[in-house]
């Protein structure tokens, strides 16, 4: 399995596999599993292809057309291929006249290339191909006769049939490794052996055998992750921590008595879970998830006050200066004038004198509640007795940053991780599997409903005019609005890809157009991540004080920004945002007594995957339902995170959405095995195989605090 591919498939092909697909050894290639399987004569549904996709399609040649330009000595061959369902794709070849002899109407083939668009038609420019009834195909696919044909994740110079040829060489040459999975687990879970699974995934002899192979390899992936997470959870549970029990007559009790509203049942229940954790002699590792506006910050503040009552300090880490400043102002207001001396704000933009004062207060312990950005991680920020770390929007921070903050305590502090992105159960079990999970699903009273509508700007331009009219109407009622763009300005990236019709809309370009056009006369401000911190804070304060009618912003307003008077949000190029991101953004409106309105402006056409995604967002306010949908539409690697640091990972088949049962089984087996053999001393091959799926870097990523 560790044999270099150069010894098996030749130096040239091995170099292409390494350069294009990051494959170096026989094992790397065997775990480069097919993304799907085709049958001779079956079609690929061409209508679902999107511009920019690298695809391999099975289709039939419909007709060919040759254009010659004698003056420029050019020869353009256009080949129309179809899927039998009415979908068509144009293949173009310049100055390759011999292709016309190959590509005759009626022939089926596999065609590999990148989808582009020209004059409203989708096409592949100079795609690689192999004809299903040609001699080349018969030679390449001899071993697949009468069976399913694997289609591999491929690259421009490495079409799927070349990868299949290399796999065939490896399967015929390499000796399969001993199976690392304990025999009793294989028997209990009805898993086929590893050698059979690796053979059948590439050369399936039947649909049933393919399913057995897929299940075994999925199980291996899930089991490796769960072994890693359960082991880390067990290790963390044994660490010492200073207990921070609740006091009956402390600051927390005083705070609760002063609240002008009643906590929701969910806030009380989750508060009790956290309080019990803080009282333990082992560090809390808890994830607090909840809908936008469910009151997570209030729950976190109560936990921080419990730690302060017990003589410790608590730090709240926010992803942006805008959010850190907002948390600071909000908590100052909640604590009341008599307790405001207890709280300190630390950001990168603090002046020298203010920073010295803040750092001194943190070091001597007079700053009991510390709010900040990643500036809290820098050398020179020393805590007298750090008892609790609260991390807001966990996904914005890396493991190294959390470790740096944790290292500032004499003993491991308690850790509370918050996210407003609802997490499906399998993701919680997999990505956050070493954390206890608390969920706030009940919204506080007084929150207003939010209506969401898709605005099809390309199909119905009048709808976009009406959107700007609605913004003016809300402002006329004394309310405020957000306009969200995907980009800051033309200088903040390398420009659009050549295949894009136009670049994404940008704050610095849209704002002046609105100010001189549909929103003329309104007070507009702009907000994005590249503004100086003082300017960002000034804009948000002006908006909060209703001195601005409209803010044109990037997703810097996605989390935590709380202006109850803002009632309408227009998201431009909405199809360029993810489902969870759209849900987060619209949670910025409807936070007061007036109903909220979110308008998703898009040029995506009806029926396309992008448009369907927006329609789904508009159809529900249930963040957990949208999280499931988001998971369904995203690649699993995106969910698990990219923290490889150059080390390959072999997570290929596991679906967090579709494989709930596999993940649940793997979790139970991992817990049972580690109770019996915490060091896996009886199963050294299993210990070694875990590294194939979960590198040390990935293990650190999965630790999540």
Q: What is the set of domains in the chain, with CATH numbers? A: 6-180 (2.40.50.140), 251-440 (3.40.50.300), 450-620 (3.40.50.300)
What is the rounded distance in angstroms from the CA atom of residue 537 to the CA atom of residue 138?
Answer: 67
- Provide mean pLDDT across the span 103-123: 85
What is the per-residue pLDDT across 427-456, written as a single tens digit (0 to 9) for each?
A: 666 666 667 888 887 766 666 789 999 999
Q: Which two tokens stand for residue 287?
A: 């994830």
Kindly report the pTM of this predicted structure: 0.64
Q: Which residue has the higher pLDDT, 73 or 496?
A: 73
Could you report how far apart the first and last alpha carbons of the chain are, in Å?
Answer: 34
pLDDT of residue 512: 95
C-alpha R_g of the chain: 29
What is the rounded distance in angstroms from the CA atom of residue 523 to the CA atom of residue 508?
Answer: 15
What is the per-residue pLDDT across 171-227, written as a single tens digit (0 to 9) for each?
A: 999 999 899 999 999 999 999 999 999 999 999 988 899 999 999 999 999 999 889
- Provide mean pLDDT across the span 256-280: 92
pLDDT of residue 647: 38
What is the per-residue pLDDT across 116-160, written as a single tens digit (0 to 9) for each?
A: 888 778 898 888 888 876 555 545 555 444 457 788 887 767 888
What SS3 state is found at 386? Answer: strand
- The torsion region of residue 177 among left (phi > 0), alpha (psi -120 to 50) and beta comes to beta
Q: CA nearest 367: which of 306, 315, 299? A: 315
pLDDT of residue 396: 47
User: Exposed/middle/buried for 435, CB within 10 Å: 0-12, 13-18, 19+?
Assistant: buried
Assign 668 a pLDDT band (cuts: 50, 70, 90): very high
Assign 71 a pLDDT band (cuts: 50, 70, 90): low
Lowest mean pLDDT among 249-258, 414-423, 547-556: 414-423
């Amino acid at each position: 399995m560790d044999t270099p591919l150069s010894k098996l498939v030749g130096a040239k092909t091995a170099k292409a596999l390494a350069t294009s697909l990051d494959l170096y050894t026989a094992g790397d290639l065997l775990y480069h599993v097919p993304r799907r399987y085709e049958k001779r004569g079956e079609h690929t549904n061409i209508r679902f292809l999107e511009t920019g996709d690298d695809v391999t399609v099975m289709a039939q040649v419909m007709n060919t057309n040759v254009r010659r330009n004698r003056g420029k000595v050019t020869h353009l061959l256009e080949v129309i291929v179809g899927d039998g369902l009415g979908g068509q794709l144009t293949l173009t070849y310049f100055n390759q006249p011999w292709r016309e002899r190959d590509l005759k109407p009626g022939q089926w083939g596999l065609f590999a290339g990148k989808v582009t668009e020209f004059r409203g038609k989708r096409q592949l420019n100079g795609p690689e191909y192999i004809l299903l009834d040609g001699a080349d195909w018969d030679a390449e696919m001899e071993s697949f006769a009468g069976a399913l044909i694997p289609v591999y994740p491929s690259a421009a110079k490495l079409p799927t049939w070349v990868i299949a040829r290399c796999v065939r060489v490896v399967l015929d040459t390499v000796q399969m490794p001993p199976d690392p999975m304990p025999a009793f687990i294989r028997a209990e879970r009805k898993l086929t052996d590893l050698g059979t699974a690796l053979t059948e995934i590439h050369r399936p002899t039947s649909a049933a055998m393919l399913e057995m192979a897929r299940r075994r390899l999925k199980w291996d992936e899930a089991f490796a992750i769960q072994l890693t997470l359960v082991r880390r959870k067990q290790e963390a549970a044994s660490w010492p921590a200073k207990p921070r029990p609740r006091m009956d007559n402390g600051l927390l009790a005083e705070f609760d008595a002063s609240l002008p509203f009643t906590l929701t049942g969910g806030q009380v229940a989750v508060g009790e879970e956290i309080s019990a954790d803080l009282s333990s002699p082992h560090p809390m590792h808890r994830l607090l998830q909840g809908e936008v506006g469910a009151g997570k910050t209030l729950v976190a503040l109560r936990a921080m006050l419990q730690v302060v009552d017990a003589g410790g300090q608590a730090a709240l880490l926010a992803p942006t200066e805008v959010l850190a400043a907002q948390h600071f102002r909000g908590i100052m207001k909640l604590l009341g004038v008599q307790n405001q001396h207890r709280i300190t704000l630390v950001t990168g933009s603090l002046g020298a004198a203010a920073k010295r004062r803040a750092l001194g207060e943190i070091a001597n312990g007079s700053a009991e509640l510390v709010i900040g950005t990643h500036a809290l991680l820098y050398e020179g920020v020393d805590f007298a007795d750090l008892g609790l770390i609260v991390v807001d929007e966990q996904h914005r921070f890396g493991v190294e940053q959390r470790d740096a903050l944790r290292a500032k305590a004499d003993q491991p502090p308690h850790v509370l991780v918050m996210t407003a992105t609802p997490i499906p159960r399998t993701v919680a079990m997999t990505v956050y599997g070493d954390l206890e999970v608390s969920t706030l699903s009940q919204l506080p009273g007084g929150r207003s409903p939010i209506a969401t509508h898709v605005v099809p700007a390309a199909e119905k331009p009048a709808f976009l005019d009406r959107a700007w009219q609605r913004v003016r109407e809300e402002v006329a009622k004394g309310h405020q609005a957000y306009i969200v763009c995907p980009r800051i300005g033309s200088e903040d990236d390398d420009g659009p890809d050549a295949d894009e019709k136009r670049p994404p809309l940008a704050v610095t370009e849209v704002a002046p157009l609105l100010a001189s056009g549909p929103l003329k006369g309104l007070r507009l401000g702009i907000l994005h991540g590249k503004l100086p911190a003082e300017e960002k804070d000034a804009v948000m304060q002006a908006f909060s004080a209703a001195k601005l009618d409209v803010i044109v912003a990037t997703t810097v307003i996605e989390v935590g920004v709380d202006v109850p008077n803002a009632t309408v949000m227009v998201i431009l190029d909405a199809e360029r945002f993810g489902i969870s991101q759209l849900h987060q953004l619209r949670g910025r409106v409807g936070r007061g007594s007036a109903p909220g309105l979110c308008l998703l402006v898009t040029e995506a056409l009806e029926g396309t995957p992008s448009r369907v995604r927006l329609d789904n967002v508009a159809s529900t306010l249930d963040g957990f339902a949208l999280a499931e949908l988001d998971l369904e539409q995203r690649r699993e690697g995106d969910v698990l995170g990219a923290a490889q640091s150059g080390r390959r990972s072999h997570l290929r088949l596991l679906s967090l959405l579709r494989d709930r049962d596999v993940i649940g089984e793997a979790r139970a087996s991992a817990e049972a095995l580690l109770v019996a053999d915490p060091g896996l001393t009886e199963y050294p091959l299993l210990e070694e195989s875990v590294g194939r799926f979960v590198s040390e870097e990935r293990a650190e990523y999965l630790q999540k605090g």
